[in-house]
Amino acid sequence: MSRSRFGALASLMAVSLVLSGCATASGAQIEAETRASLPSAWQEAARLPDVVTSQDAVLKELFYRVQVGPDLALAQSRLKEAEARLMVARAGLLPSLSLGGSQTRTEIDGGKASLEKVGSATLAIPLDVFGANRARAGASKARLQAARLDAQRVASATRTNLAQLYIAYRAAQAQVAVTQANLASAEDSLSLAKARQAAGLETGLGVAQATSNRDAIAARLPSFLQAQTAARLGLEALIGDRPGSLAGLLQPIAPIPQLDSRQAVVAPQIWLDTRPDLVAAQQRLRAAGLDARAALRDRLPNLSITALGLETDLGQGVSVPSNSVAGNVAMTLFDFGRLRGLAKAAGAQAETEALLYQQSVLQAMADLETQASAVRQGERSAQAQAANVASAADQARLARVRYTSGLSGFLDVLTAERAAYEAQSAEVTAKAEAARAQFAFALALGL
């Protein structure tokens, strides 16, 4: 090779190495800028006080059952695919050994024939001088880690979905109990109105009002029963079981579950490195950068050493051994831009993953702040509704006493009892919303 050609080849190799180092600069820069842009006071906004929570044995049982449910099958399949790809990538760094054999029979004029047997063993050792194969192996390893984290995130999201359905079931169950209790109270009020009418102390208007109040309460019962059934069917579908399989497990009345998920977010950096989907996005970003590096270095020479051993059996106890060692250099000088196009595509993919990572962090921050606010508001609403229930119950008792004493009309009793029922129903709704916010906040934390 002439000096001019050698100089051109060296320049090409140097430029390619520089470009391979710059391929992932934009991705790494965006990751660093994203981390640096997190506000220093942000973790204070997401911090919430610790609370004492109840343990729900039924919910724990459902969590156990959903681990083998159908929603996790896809994540597990992707995990197996990533493991296989890592195995293939690592194999490119290791020597390969192949064995071969042949038998040749040659007939010569005059009826004579010769039989030649050849056995060979070839050992090929790749020399990954420029690191293309190492980059591919690193990219496969990063994708495997991302697949594991994705499976973990899917499991967390599935548990959260299950908890939301379970909360909906317990809330509907509580609404049924509240409605039935108030329906019984409305029946008592109707009986009281009828008795007072029979005694000449009440007109027919009071009986009509009491009947209307009872019917209005009874009309709400079917919708709560339907919501309870729908939540149970959703739970059974989520764990991959037949309809009706959870009826016995869920039948006993239990309170709406609460979750002790509100822990302090120590620092944004720790949160970035622990939330599974964000760490998976980091791993995919690194994998794309390594793919870009490998694609650029594919344009550089490919070096390998091949050792060949032959044993030729010529018959009649005569064999001829031969061995050889060769160094191989291969480089594509012109391919109509195929390798250059692959390198550009890999670089563009790295930039895409970098932007996706940045977007994922911003969305996760907004999600965490939203859920933290929802937990606070849900807790305040539940406390306010509990106080409202107590005051509405006192008002209903006072209205009944005044009515039986002849100091007020029956409409006041019905109004107070209806307000007490609405307060109890609103308290159940507030407790359910607070529980949903707690589980959503746990998912936003990456738990």
Distance CA 44, CA 372 (A): 11
Q: C-alpha distances in angstroms, 305 versus 95, 122, 308?
A: 9, 10, 10
Distance CA 2, CA 443 (A): 64
CB 260 within 8 A of CB 250: no
The angle formed by the CA atoms of residues 341, 347 and 350, to the nearest 5 degrees, is 145
| 102: helix, strand or coil | strand
| 364: helix, strand or coil | helix
The angle formed by the CA atoms of residues 261, 78 and 289, to the nearest 5 degrees, is 90
How many C-beta atoms surround the C-beta of residue 236 within 10 A? 19
Return the DSSP state at 442: H
Distance CA 114, CA 105 (A): 6
Distance CA 11, CA 16 (A): 9
Mean pLDDT of the 382-401 span? 88
| pTM over 0.85, yes/no | no
Checking if the pLDDT of 424 tops 70, the result is: yes
What pLDDT, on the 0 to 100 scale, is given for residue 69? 58
How many C-beta atoms surround the C-beta of residue 286 within 10 A? 24
Given pLDDT bands bounded at 50, 70 and 90, which one contains residue 295? confident
Mean pLDDT of the 398-404 span? 82
Task: Give the tens place of pLDDT for each residue, 324-335.
Answer: 777 777 777 777
Given pLDDT bands bounded at 50, 70 and 90, which one contains residue 53? very low
| 35: helix, strand or coil | helix
Owner of token pair 């509240």: 178
Task: Give the tens place of pLDDT for each residue, 120-139.
Answer: 778 777 777 777 778 888 88
Return the DSSP state at 16: H
Task: State which of 175-179, 186-190, 200-204, 260-264 shows the largest mean pLDDT.
Answer: 175-179
